[in-house]
Structure 1
């Protein structure tokens, strides 16, 4: 497929931290994608929480299935817009590598615990994983991804510094997460600009995927019903279309048919609006996309307002449902117990971490090693460790 001029061109990549020969059969971005898929961190996503803790049911999404769904959406949107599918897919597959066990609950706990030591941010932790913590290759630590993939991981949600950064996420004058600062010092990611169009596609594909599958998982968990969804924008239209085409359809098929339509509405809106904006802006290079004063891959304003209503519904009925809140408290206690225990007794870490511990010259360096270990745990392993040490 011919790429648009504003797509990220493989032959124009800014390269890798460590020079490598080009692959005979794969572009640099396809190679990045494959390294991410074969990484240990990617496999661990199989047992990390999306919303429901991994052991609560076999059918709920995990971070792994979520990442695969995000990659599928990103490929579709990128292909429709003439963008580089390999790069969009690589960023989509990597975007959650830095998540701790127990989803955002675990992340919230680690943010508090790491506040004295430079904080915790899952995007920055993903960069630390792909540049340092994956230790499989003979010539380098990490995966040695291209600049474009690293940039996408760092900035897919927008600039991190400068006037266009989100002040809620990145307060003016605030310090960069240390993991991000370390990578940026070695390989300037131009944190003040927007990311490539492919990275923006990965970001909005994340929104599409979780808005779709959280509705699906919430129905399966019995946190709300199809009747509730028929009171919401977008989902109401979807159910009406299904009922008109398939009267008396059994409940599970009816839900699936309705929610796949919602999925389609989101993707079609993004492609339509992005096409119009790209035609209007007329960017001539990938850098033109980065230098804009706003994201170009986004939902239309009316559609975004409808999604806000759905997100508000999910927040009340799913993310803050009594059983979810109860589980959040339980797993927060686990993180709040394990982290200080390893800080006090780092010798309890596995043997392969001993060299790292011995090289630590300060409490901050030790805390960051402990964070790497705890944040890398799966839900299952964190629960096992907690039960082992605390009963």
Structure 2
């Protein structure tokens, strides 16, 4: 007897209904206790790629300190926001959570510095894109199951993972052949409808990511001392909330003032997304997730006022945090580490561990470059630094 109830009465008409999921590339028997999207979430949680996020940079290299965000803690925070928004709007919380937890699986060691370095290294081959790498991980690189490579996630999760930032094919802008090789390879077998928007849960995950990294990068930057609390007084959204905290709690210690301000930033952005999205959904009145995908604009969004405040906060963080000289020094070292490893391993693939070497062909071939790229992209910050030392420092055991 099935314990799981296929249709949730709390789902809105435009939500992605697990009972009508388009299924998986490789058919599997349904679970008696979990919906298809609950199983997707659980497969992501149990994957090796998800565990490795614990030691992958968000902004600060992992070795800098244990109190700053990593890709893992960031993904957990995104999932909390995504579930909250989905619950308010009557969406499929399990699908939104699966997408939130999986959205950063393709990020490299050393954050955007590692990604930029791999993009440069792979420019002469098939290129590199962290969203495409996420798809590659969940459809090929995870090797856990006897009957297929990857995690065999549902169509809705794969579609949302690839398109959470919007359609990939747009008239007059991007064609199928402009897309990363990993996406082209997969959609040749399994159509993810790249010219339409993703379902509403994927749109929620994308905005939740934006909310989380803005607020938490602000938090980490303040706690790291890269800029003082007084510097944010004039920042859109943040400044008025900080002044409110300081007025309400005279003499409050800085660490508490930071937390009180950041949590208000998150609340303000979440409330705005919920209100604006509810207005858009009421106006468009979609009767299904498929109708959401067919619209010419997203239904999950900030209001125009909040979008401007969001842009203002990003404008503050870019020079003060992401381009701070201490961060620049870390990212410069990270880029050198990645480039040097890639160059050596593509030239001498026999230096790869046996299971990776077996997948290569001749030096500098496209296949060898892709294998080396997969190997480096999957590294944690710590492993990358250790592997670089093993490859280049004669005093370190290979």
Q: TM-score range by the shorter chain?
A: over 0.9
SS of 2:339's partner is: helix
TM-score, normalised with respect to structure 2: 0.94
Question: Residue deviations 1:126-161, cap 9 Å, x none?
Answer: 000000100011111100000000001100000001
Q: Secondary structure at the match of 1:195?
A: coil
- Mapping of residues 54-69 of structure 1, within 5 Å: 54-69=62-77
2:354 is the counterpart of 1:351: yes
| Counterpart-to-counterpart distance in 1, 2:322 and 2:146 | 43
Give 1:260's aligned residue.
263
Correspondence 1:132 to 2:132: no
User: 228-237 vs 70-79, which deviates more?
Assistant: 228-237
Q: Secondary structure at the match of 1:308?
A: helix
The structure 2 residue matched to 1:23, chosen from 28, 31, 38, is: 31
1:32 corresponds to: 40
Deviates more, 1:340-349 or 1:152-161: 340-349
CA offsets 1:338-381 (integer angstroms, 9 cap, x no match): 001111111111122233125x7981111111111011111111
Find out whether 1:114 has 2:122 as its counterpart.
Answer: yes
Q: Alignment length, in residue pairs?
A: 385
Which residue number in structure 1 is paired with residue 206 of structure 2?
203
- Cα 1:378–1:141 change in 2 (3 A) is same
Deviations 1:162-195 (A, max 9, x none): 239xx5xxx4575210101111111100000000
Match of 2:317 in 1: 314
From the superposition, tell whether residues 20 and 172 of structure 1 become closer, same or farther in structure 2 (CA, over 3 Å). closer
Does 2:155 match 1:155?
no
RMSD after superposition: 1.4
Q: CA deviation at 1:75?
A: 0.3
Give the conservation status (yes or no) of the 8 Å contact 2:347–2:364: no
Q: Which runs of 5+ in 1 are unaligned?
A: none
Which residue in 2 is equivalent to 1:337? 340
| TM-score normalized with structure 1 length | 0.96
Q: 1:9 is matched with which residue?
A: 17
Partners of 2:99 and 2:205 within 8 A in 1 = yes
The residue correspondences of 1:181-196 to structure 2 (distance < 5 A) are 181-196=184-199
Q: CA deviation at 1:385?
A: 1.1
The separation in 2 between residues aligned to 1:99 and 1:259, in whole angstroms, is 25
Aligned to 1:382: 384
Deviations 1:209-263 (A, max 9, x none): 0011000000011111111111112112211221232221111111111110011
Q: Which residue of 286, 289, 304 corresponds with 1:286? A: 289
Q: Distance in 2 between matches of 1:145 and 1:320?
A: 37
- Paired with 1:262 and 1:78, the residues of 2 have a C-alpha distance of 19
Of 324, 348, 363 in structure 1, the residue corresponding to residue 365 of structure 2 is: 363
The answer to whether 1:301 aligns with 2:304 is: yes
Aligned partner of 1:327 in structure 2 is 330
Alignment of 1:265-276 (within 5 A): 265-276=268-279
Say whether residues 1:44 and 2:68 are aligned partners. no
Please give the per-residue CA displacement for 1:267-310, whole angstroms capped at 9, x wherever unaligned.
00000000011011100010111011111111011111111111
Partner of 1:242: 245
Residue segments in structure 2 that go unaligned for 5+ positions in a row: 1-8, 394-398
Question: Is the partner of 1:356 in helix, strand or coil?
Answer: coil
Structure 2 counterpart of 1:79, from 83, 87, 90: 87
Could you say which residue in structure 2 is the equivalent of 1:373?
375
Distance in 1, Cα, partners of 2:49 & 2:206: 20
Residues of 2 paired with 1:387 and 1:193: CA distance? Answer: 45
Q: Deviations over 1:32-69 (max 9, x none)?
A: 00000000000000011100001001111000000000
Task: Note if contact 2:56-2:381 (Cα within 8 Å) is conserved in structure 1.
Answer: yes
